Structure 1
Amino acid sequence: MLNLVLFGPPGAGKGTQSEKLIAKYNLVHISTGDIFRAHIKDQTELGQQVSQIIADGNLVPDSITIAMLEEEIKKNPLATGFIFDGFPRTVAQAEALDAFLDSIGTSISGVVALDVTESELTQRIAKRQEISGRADDAADKLKKRIEEYFNKTIHVLPYYEAQGKLTKVNGIGEIDAIFAELSAVVDSYSYQA
């Protein structure tokens, strides 16, 4: 099973590259952001809690995120692999993900971090906000999300680096060139298809 974690700050291109990786490797995409937005749209009880947390620019608590993630994985028993987008964001989440995957007989194959400068991120998200109007792309919330990534989330990378699973890829350039580099990294992982 091929299980990938795609890392990068807001606007790094995770969503764009995830779509291409999913198509090439037949993976199930698990985006905590998409899961949260679906709950918010459906106005579930969880969605209402998550909505307020996100509106304040904070991260959703680990317990909620992990439970939702496990539920999504269990919905796909025939999957040949998963790509985790936006998760894990803390070492505790990474440890919980490892423990859960181990309990179902699999593990993370590799972790790819898209490196993008803060100025590039700001430009990309400004464009994305014009096109999609996503509420979490508003300037004040965006600044907080980028700070959250660089102050907290980035500290998960050494956890995977210590396991020999981390590869950094330059996230600035042509989408297809970045994808070619990502594919070369993924192809280097030893996994059972």
Structure 2
Amino acid sequence: MSARLVLLGPPGAGKGTQASRLAERLGVPAISTGDIFRANITGGTELGRKVQEYTAVGALVPDEVTNAMVRDRLAQPDAAEGFLLDGYPRNVAQVAELDAILAELGRDLDVAVEITADAEVVVERMLGRAEIEGRVDDTEPVIRHRLEVYALQTAPIADVYAERGLLVRVDGLGAVDEVTERLLSALEPHVA
């Protein structure tokens, strides 16, 4: 199956959970900038230390760092027939960069999927996750700041993809299996 898609949605909407499920069902790699960042933080790399400076205060990692990582990852053989990007693009400038990367590779994006979720539910989810996973940076003020950053910088991406006729919105609230089925149904007309 060929599927090249971007997964959008506010922090805590369930993108990570759904990305891995969708990637498995579609037979494409899930490419998460968050996972790449966390691996570098855990590994104590120079990039990890830079990333942690930003994420600890709820800020986004600079575009040039993120763009280079995505460019390299999409050029790998397992992404030739498809991919699911989770956490990229995060702003309109990154949409243009992704367009350039895909043009260089001779590929097109099939669809952008936005998982929607109520902000208060997202805050509760993320606070619960922080407690379970011991994420010290996921305090309520930081989570609310991330949601504000999302609304200002990332949400406008949905408008760009909507103008191109590539956007599909799916409610991210409910049981995990229900959300997965909603997503697969919404994607069906867009992937080969």
TM range (shorter): over 0.9
Q: Secondary structure at the match of 2:168?
A: strand
Count of paired positions = 190
1:90 has 2:116 as partner: no
Q: CA deviation at 1:136?
A: 3.8
Give CA deviations for 1:124-171 in whole Å, capped at 9, x if unaligned: 112111211224422222111111111221011111111100011111
For residues 188 and 144 of structure 2, the distance between their equivalents in structure 1, rounded to whole angstroms, comes to 35
Unaligned runs of 5+ residues in structure 1 are: none
Q: Secondary structure at the match of 1:172?
A: coil
Q: CA deviation at 1:4?
A: 1.0
For residues 48 and 184 of structure 2, the distance between their equivalents in structure 1, rounded to whole angstroms, comes to 34
Partner of 1:100: 101
Q: Which amino acid aligns with 1:6?
A: L
Partner of 1:78: 78
Partner of 2:63: 62
For residues 153 and 78 of structure 1, the distance between their equivalents in structure 2, rounded to whole angstroms, comes to 27
Segments ≥4 residues shifted beyond 6 Å: none
Q: Secondary structure at the match of 1:181?
A: helix
Unaligned runs of 5+ residues in structure 2 are: none
For residues 129 and 17 of structure 1, the distance between their equivalents in structure 2, rounded to whole angstroms, comes to 19
Q: CA deviation at 1:77?
A: 0.9
For residues 127 and 40 of structure 1, the distance between their equivalents in structure 2, rounded to whole angstroms, comes to 22
Change in Cα spacing, 1:135 to 1:105, as seen in structure 2 (3 Å) is: farther
1:24 has 2:25 as partner: yes
On the 8 A contact 2:41/2:52 being kept in 1, the answer is yes
Q: Secondary structure at the match of 2:89?
A: coil
On the 8 A contact 2:117/2:171 being kept in 1, the answer is yes
Q: CA deviation at 1:119?
A: 1.0
For residues 122 and 78 of structure 2, the distance between their equivalents in structure 1, rounded to whole angstroms, comes to 36
Partner of 2:45: 44
Q: CA deviation at 1:78?
A: 3.3
Computed over aligned residues only, the root mean square deviation of the Cα atoms, in angstroms, reads: 1.3
For residues 186 and 3 of structure 2, the distance between their equivalents in structure 1, rounded to whole angstroms, comes to 12
Give CA deviations for 1:57-109 in whole Å, capped at 9, x if unaligned: 211111111001112223x3133311111111111001100110111011211
Q: Which amino acid aligns with 2:9?
A: G
Partner of 1:33: 34
Partner of 1:179: 180
For residues 37 and 136 of structure 2, the distance between their equivalents in structure 1, rounded to whole angstroms, comes to 13
Partner of 2:124: 123
Relative to the length of structure 1, the TM-score reads: 0.93
